[in-house]
Amino acid sequence: MYEVKENRRTLGDGTEITTYTRDVVSCNILEVEAGTNGYQGGDSGHGGRTYFRIKDEGSTDMNIQTRSDRYGGSEVEVILGGDCELETMIRALKFITKVLEEESREVYD
């Protein structure tokens, strides 16, 4: 079992949300944090916010690139090296998914 910590985070636009953090430990260590204020009835102007963060806490072979195109589109690219990185990232993404599904208070099939 692992410890999950509940936090309050203020986003760049001033929105406060509850987030949940845990460590994912193998030969490398990731700290993962996720939260949302759920569905708010529309686009970002309606106040809906979703947040997640994945941080290398030790020995993670991880390369991250962000790009924007001339039309205002953005992308995030993550490249992992190694078997443990694959394993811990899968666990981190499952935690993020679980938090976002539970905090959005929606029913999923």
For residue 107, pLDDT beyond 60:
no
Stronger pLDDT, 23 or 42, i.e. the higher one: 23
**Residue 96: CB partners within 8 Å, gap ≥ 6?**
32, 34, 52
Whether the CB-CB separation of 70 and 54 falls below 8 Å is answered with no
The share of the chain scoring above pLDDT 90, in percent, equals: 90
For residue 108, pLDDT beyond 70:
no
pLDDT, position 109: 53
pTM of the predicted model, to two decimals?
A: 0.90
Residue among 38, 41, 42 nearest 18 (CA): 38
Whether the CB-CB separation of 29 and 21 falls below 8 Å is answered with no
Read off the pLDDT of residues 5-27 as tens digits, 9 standing for 90 and up.
999 999 999 999 999 999 999 99
